[in-house]
Structure 1
Amino acid sequence: MAADDGDPTKFAAISSSSSPLLSKPSTSALDSPRRSSDPESDPTQFLQISYNFGPRPFKDVAFLLLFDLFVFSTFGFGVFSVFHRNTDYGDSSSFSYDLASTSCLKVSTFTRFSNSYWSDPVFEKDLIWTLVVTLILSAPFCFLVLLLLKHYTKQIVYACLPLFVLFPIFFNVYWFVACTLSSSCSDALPLAYRVLLLVFVFLIVGVIVWIIVANWHRIELTIQIIGVASDALSKNLKLFVVLPLLILGLVVYYAPIVVFLVFARFNGEFVPREVDGDEYVCEWKEDSWVPAYYALAIITMIWSLAVMVEMQVYVISGAIAQWYFSKEDSMPKKCIRSSLRNAFGQSFGTICLSGILVGVVRVVRAIVDNAREENPQGIVNFALRCCANALLGAFDYLNKFTINFAAITGESYCTSAKMTYELLRRNLLSAVFVETVSTRILTGIVFVLSAAYAVATWAVLRGVSSLGVDSYLVAILAWLLLTVVLAFFVHVLDNVIDTIYVCYAIDRDKGDVCKQEVHEVYVHLPISRSTRSALIPNALNA
């Protein structure tokens, strides 16, 4: 054994196949064999990766310019559509066909339209007040959930797990009994359909139970991951101000584009169309450039939405990474501001590239799903769908942590994707799996809390208002609003978990420990190559 331990060839083989350890090697003998064993590897993968606090160069400038071109073209042609509009749009009764000029001429007419609207002032008042109160309470509600997840993660998770099953069962039985007792509901929905829907919901509950049982051995690890992420997010509470402002900014940005799309329809003229023999009618014909503008504006809106989502991920990752790589007794000042500055500055081209790729993938996936529903048969269609799903899966595999890495290092999109893959591969970490159970549990907690709020809202409305059956609808809308807000909270927490995972991988790669509490949790995550995991203890013993 002593002779084997001293064999430099065997030591090089072991060190080249094992992952970087959590403690920094005392000599450089560990690195040189690993580098020489893989001469074709990219040298950049062995650089000491860390958060780039210094000035960053502009990356992916071409996509920044392309995005700006789309935006300026959308707004430029939109302004043109407003000033070039035809004020006679929609007034076809004012035009008649003139036989002498073979064109449509405007005649003097006067048309009056009268519309009557029915509304229920009691329903509208209670609905508006309920939604306003829900929106106001949603902010402290999110902070309360974050506080509970930070300090009482285990208690919250184990208390909500039974409710994942009991709440659907309760609502399923309740609506079935209520619909059976109501003559109007039972007439509209026959007994056979009610039973079928009842059984279908129970099948869904059975699937939920199976998921919980199958992943029970990972519940404890999930609890620790959620606790660590909640603690990191609590150190960056300003994110809950910045991220909603980004959404509000997107809404404000969308408003003029929607106006331009409306006014684009007003660009055209009335032209004659032959109907029966020598009879002609005047109909509206849009200018030839209007459909192209619609396509341009819709592409710009989809791309802008994807850019906003990726920018949120970038800002979250930048702020959390600065917290992670800071000293225990200090917190970087203006970390969110610096992350925003990088997002709107040097890395905006990277975010634009990521946004257009994500947008294209979402559109392609929607087309594939729609094609499967419309024409599910045929070996050619099946093969094309398989190829498309394989390509989309490959993109998800490479794109999983790319923006997180770009926010940390300031690298370009392609470089970040490559270095992230190499970073995780070297450290035997998965590029697609962090802990999916945490997302499912957080989603279940959102469902339980929002459902409890909806029940409380319904009880209050039944006691203080005269809505009657409409109180169910108001409670459902309040439930939807709170679910959307809490789902956004879960989205932020998921990105925090992903960012910490990348930071943990960087620590492993450097042989460093910046946050001991993170290493104590994330070290239990499964590795991507189980057959090579046995080499780690051997390397430690060596």
Structure 2
Amino acid sequence: MANSTIDEPDKPLNPLLSTTYPSVSGATSDIQDDDDDDQQTQFLQISFNYGPRPYQDIIFVILFLVFVLSTFGFGIFSCVNRNPHHGQQASFSYNPTTASCIPEDPFFPINPTSLTSSLSTFWNTFIWTLVITLLLSVPFLLFLLFFLNNFTKQIVYVSLPFCVLVPILLNVYWFIACTVTSTCSDSFPLPYRILMLVFVFLIIGVLVWILVVNWHRVELTVKIIRVASNALSRNLSLIVVLPVLSLGLLVYYAPIVVFLVFAQLNGEIVPKDKDGHYYCVWKQDTWVPAYYTLAILTMLWSAAALVEAKVFVISGTIAQWYFSKDDDGLKRGIRNALRNAFGPSFGTICFSGLLISTIRVVRFMVDSAREEGATGIVNLILRCCVNTLLSAFDFLNKFTINFAAITGEAYCSSARMTYELLKRNLLSVVFVETVSARVLALIIFVFSTIYAIVVCVILKTVIDLGDDAYIVAVTAWLLLMVVFGYFVLVLDSVIDTVYVCYAIDRDRGEVCKQEVHEVYGHLPISRSDRSAFGIRTPLLV
């Protein structure tokens, strides 16, 4: 039941296309032609594809395999063809007879260095704190998911004040600590400390203003988070499978890193003339920079493809939960999603990863040009054009992989069909509920900060680590933020997937999950599309 704080509390929750409309053969025949009818009939069939799926975007699978095989092939060649004399050019001398560099001594003794080190108290504490934090992060995640699923409203309303109180306390604490400490007060004069104190309070004030302005949407945010948490709790295997995929990427990266190390050992020691005097220098093979470029591009593409594969697996698993009538298919849901991700739809994932990695490279180049101070009207126009194109891609790419995971369509058709699906149902293409991600980020910030404060107090009182306790506590805070950030990204993908599934329900005039319709039905609609919807003949009567 919708709460009174949400806009339009009396709005019916029936699907948009469930109302009665005039017959297609009647007055609406003058508005639409046969092609439009065929296109709309196609969209009526949107649902989760449980059957065998055709292989999509195969050309990008082939291109990706060419990159990977080339990277590994040339990498193995670099290991076999490496020059063991790399870095030993000082032991070579120029021979005028052969016009080449020859070793002065055929034997190159290796002076082993003894790596004797004893871990200090700081490093022992540092390592063990990180290990304990990493181990505790698993029950912390389950604990957070349990509370978000069962006590969403309470945990959100309790966390919101902490989002303001914690920065205020930290701001006051560092100001007092720096004032009473002679070394800090000498290096950081009082006027600068006051200026920094006021600046931080201004940032906190902006945060409070954002919360106050969006307060009317907090209850809707609570319900969206509860729905997503419930969906994720019904598919807990995702929390295990996704980190395993990340671990697989690290294993995949390991030989490439080794190849990059050995690639720089490919070359020869050659003579170089300087004012009539010859001396020996190291000359790298000309193909090595090209191999570095190939390997780095392969790594970027692989990382982007893995990110898209994770979104695909999340979407495929959650969609099966959404459209399932019972819990029988949930056990094999993630297995089906993995099989589709690395099988028929792997080309779609590679295509999306290629686009995303290209966008990142272009963004990096544009930002680098801006930092280097590139001026002129031409550079300004180019930057504006590039930023417009990047924004257009973000606009079209939203929900594309989610839709491809549900239907098994190719990337281009998924982008087009997703846009038209949401447009037909007056749903925003790029907006789900941005407050949800912000509230989740604030929650994990509060949890991580409280944990870091506890760690700091323990280290300063029990172990007496001194000021080094702050370094260890901040590192533990960063590690826990990374783990919780991964959890938020998963939950955000769940929210997007449920949104697409809800749109499919509206388009078909069905209600697979009543609790989802009761929540997502209050999301803002894309009012700019009302005119387009007004001339569309409903297909469900």
TM score, norm. by length of structure 1: 0.91
Is residue 447–residue 483 contact of structure 1 (8 Å, CA) maintained in 2?
yes
Q: Equivalents in 1 of 2:500, 2:27: separation in Å?
A: 25
Residue 315 of structure 1: how far off its partner (Å): 0.2
Structure 2 counterpart of 1:254, one-letter code:
Y
Pick aligned residue for 1:43 from 39, 49, 62: 39
Q: What SS class does the counterpart of residue 29 from structure 1 fall into?
A: coil
Q: Are the structure 2 counterparts of residues 445 and 34 from structure 1 closer, same or farther at C-alpha, using a change threshold of 3 Å?
A: farther
Over the residues paired in the alignment, what is the CA RMSD in angstroms? 2.4
Is residue 527–residue 533 contact of structure 1 (8 Å, CA) maintained in 2?
no
Q: Are the structure 2 counterparts of residues 36 and 81 from structure 1 closer, same or farther at C-alpha, using a change threshold of 3 Å?
A: farther
**What corresponds to 1:499 in structure 2?**
497
Q: Are the structure 2 counterparts of residues 519 and 180 from structure 1 closer, same or farther at C-alpha, using a change threshold of 3 Å?
A: same
Q: Equivalents in 2 of 1:83, 1:152: separation in Å?
A: 60
Q: Deviations over 1:117-140 (max 9, x none)?
A: 877511111111100110000011
1:163-242 equivalent positions in 2, closer than 5 A: 163-242=162-241
Is residue 426–residue 526 contact of structure 2 (8 Å, CA) maintained in 1?
yes
1:62-211 equivalent positions in 2, closer than 5 A: 62-108=59-105, 110=109, 112=111, 121-211=120-210
Q: Equivalents in 2 of 1:201, 1:35: separation in Å?
A: 63
Pick aligned residue for 1:308 from 300, 303, 306: 306
Is residue 268–residue 284 contact of structure 2 (8 Å, CA) maintained in 1?
yes
Structure 1 counterpart of 2:230, one-letter code:
D
Q: Are the structure 2 counterparts of residues 151 and 49 from structure 1 closer, same or farther at C-alpha, using a change threshold of 3 Å?
A: same
Deviates more, 1:296-305 or 1:117-126: 117-126
Q: Are the structure 2 counterparts of residues 383 and 343 from structure 1 closer, same or farther at C-alpha, using a change threshold of 3 Å?
A: same
1:470-489 equivalent positions in 2, closer than 5 A: 470-489=468-487
Is residue 22–residue 28 contact of structure 2 (8 Å, CA) maintained in 1?
no
Residue 182 of structure 1: how far off its partner (Å): 1.9
**What corresponds to 1:4 in structure 2?**
none
Residue 297 of structure 1: how far off its partner (Å): 0.2
Q: Equivalents in 2 of 1:47, 1:370: separation in Å?
A: 47
Is residue 396–residue 419 contact of structure 2 (8 Å, CA) maintained in 1?
yes
The runs of 5 or more residues in structure 1 that have no matched partner are 1-19
Is residue 23–residue 513 contact of structure 1 (8 Å, CA) maintained in 2?
no
**What corresponds to 2:6 in structure 1?**
none
The sequence identity of aligned pairs, in percent, is 60
Residue 281 of structure 1: how far off its partner (Å): 2.4
1:64-463 equivalent positions in 2, closer than 5 A: 64-108=61-105, 110=109, 112=111, 121-275=120-274, 277-328=275-326, 330-375=328-373, 377-463=375-461
**What corresponds to 1:11 in structure 2?**
none
Is residue 402–residue 497 contact of structure 2 (8 Å, CA) maintained in 1?
yes
Is residue 232–residue 323 contact of structure 1 (8 Å, CA) maintained in 2?
yes
Q: What SS class does the counterpart of residue 83 from structure 2 fall into?
A: coil
Q: Deviations over 1:441-486 (max 9, x none)?
A: 0001011000000001111112221321111100000000000000
Q: Are the structure 2 counterparts of residues 534 and 355 from structure 1 closer, same or farther at C-alpha, using a change threshold of 3 Å?
A: closer
Say if 2:23 is the partner of 1:29. Answer: yes
Q: Are the structure 2 counterparts of residues 376 and 334 from structure 1 closer, same or farther at C-alpha, using a change threshold of 3 Å?
A: same
Q: Are the structure 2 counterparts of residues 23 and 104 from structure 1 closer, same or farther at C-alpha, using a change threshold of 3 Å?
A: same
Deviates more, 1:331-340 or 1:363-372: 363-372
Pick aligned residue for 1:57 from 36, 54, 57: 54
Q: Equivalents in 1 of 2:279, 2:21: separation in Å?
A: 89
Q: Are the structure 2 counterparts of residues 169 and 38 from structure 1 closer, same or farther at C-alpha, using a change threshold of 3 Å?
A: farther
Deviates more, 1:25-34 or 1:97-106: 25-34
Q: What SS class does the counterpart of residue 235 from structure 2 fall into?
A: coil
Structure 1 counterpart of 2:39, one-letter code:
P
Structure 1 counterpart of 2:252, one-letter code:
Y
**What corresponds to 1:9 in structure 2?**
none
Q: Deviations over 1:296-319 (max 9, x none)?
A: 000000000001000000000000
Q: What SS class does the counterpart of residue 430 from structure 2 fall into?
A: coil
Q: Are the structure 2 counterparts of residues 534 and 382 from structure 1 closer, same or farther at C-alpha, using a change threshold of 3 Å?
A: closer
Is residue 22–residue 513 contact of structure 1 (8 Å, CA) maintained in 2?
no
Structure 1 counterpart of 2:154, one-letter code:
Q
Q: Deviations over 1:97-154 (max 9, x none)?
A: 2233222111116574758887751111111110011000001100110110111111
Q: Deviations over 1:219-270 (max 9, x none)?
A: 1111110000000000000001100000000000000000000000000011
Q: Equivalents in 2 of 1:531, 1:404: separation in Å?
A: 22
Is residue 142–residue 489 contact of structure 1 (8 Å, CA) maintained in 2?
yes
Q: Equivalents in 2 of 1:98, 1:32: separation in Å?
A: 97
Residue 205 of structure 1: how far off its partner (Å): 1.2
Structure 2 counterpart of 1:391, one-letter code:
L
Structure 1 counterpart of 2:100, one-letter code:
S
**What corresponds to 2:525 in structure 1?**
527
Structure 1 counterpart of 2:258, one-letter code:
V
Q: Deviations over 1:354-393 (max 9, x none)?
A: 0010111112112222222222643322222211111111
Deviates more, 1:122-131 or 1:360-369: 360-369
Deviates more, 1:174-183 or 1:243-252: 174-183
**What corresponds to 1:10 in structure 2?**
none
Is residue 142–residue 486 contact of structure 1 (8 Å, CA) maintained in 2?
yes
Is residue 22–residue 507 contact of structure 1 (8 Å, CA) maintained in 2?
no
Q: Deviations over 1:315-369 (max 9, x none)?
A: 0000000000011565533100000000010000000000010111112112222
Structure 2 counterpart of 1:529, one-letter code:
R
Structure 1 counterpart of 2:292, one-letter code:
Y
Is residue 15–residue 505 contact of structure 2 (8 Å, CA) maintained in 1?
no
Q: Equivalents in 1 of 2:26, 2:295: separation in Å?
A: 54
Structure 1 counterpart of 2:72, one-letter code:
F
Q: Are the structure 2 counterparts of residues 527 and 133 from structure 1 closer, same or farther at C-alpha, using a change threshold of 3 Å?
A: same
Q: Equivalents in 2 of 1:362, 1:281: separation in Å?
A: 43
Structure 1 counterpart of 2:530, one-letter code:
R
Is residue 400–residue 431 contact of structure 1 (8 Å, CA) maintained in 2?
yes
Is residue 22–residue 512 contact of structure 1 (8 Å, CA) maintained in 2?
no
Q: Are the structure 2 counterparts of residues 340 and 28 from structure 1 closer, same or farther at C-alpha, using a change threshold of 3 Å?
A: farther
Q: Equivalents in 2 of 1:35, 1:81: separation in Å?
A: 68
